[in-house]
Amino acid sequence: MRELISFACGQCGRRNYTGDKNKRNTPDKLVFRKYCRFCRTHTEHREDKIK
């Protein structure tokens, strides 16, 4: 039931974080404000599929 996801930076598009979520409880895409080491600032990270 749980699905592996990665979080991509909204500015540079790099995948910096990974995680998992329950698709039944949270069908929407997750969005967090996290630190991007490539941009060197806190940016919005959106859910992205792990390839």
Check pLDDT > 80 for residue 41.
yes
For residue 39, pLDDT over 80 is answered with yes
Return the pLDDT at 34: 96
Q: Which domains does the chain have, with CATH numbers?
A: 2-49 (2.20.28.120)
What are 12-26's pLDDT values in tens digits? 999 999 999 999 999
Query: What is the predicted pLDDT for the residue at 1?
Result: 80
d(CA 4, CA 35): 20
pLDDT at residue 50 in the model: 80
Rounded to two decimals, what is the model's pTM? 0.83
C-beta of residue 20 within 8 angstroms of C-beta of residue 5: yes
pLDDT of the residue at 49: 82
Q: Which residues have C-beta within 8 Å of that of residue 51, sequence separation ≥ 6?
A: none
Handedness of CA 50, 28, 37, 34 (dihedral sign): negative
